[in-house]
Amino acid sequence: MGLLSGLLGYASEINVDELEQEFSSILIEGEEIERAYKLIRDLVVFTSILCESNRRHRTN
């Protein structure tokens, strides 16, 4: 079990539509929230920018 999957074992997934409205001021143009998890008081957010970066890296 990886570190991230171990941490997210105790986290609950959050509705990304609500977060996109809340974080619209810090997301760059074209960036979208893919998934988000709440772990006690912490919030883990995965955005499309990271996903696109990883896809490009894997194809090169």
Question: pLDDT of 30-56, one tens digit each?
Answer: 888 999 988 888 888 988 885 555 555
Cα 1–Cα 6–Cα 49 angle in degrees, nearest 5: 100
Mean pLDDT confidence for 21-38:
89
Q: Which carries the bigger pLDDT value, residue 47 or residue 11?
A: 47
Distances from the Cα of 12 to the Cα of 49, 55, 60, angstroms: 22, 26, 34
Q: Which amino acid does the sequence have at 41?
A: R
**For residues 56 and 20, what is the distance between their CA atoms, to the nearest angstrom?**
24
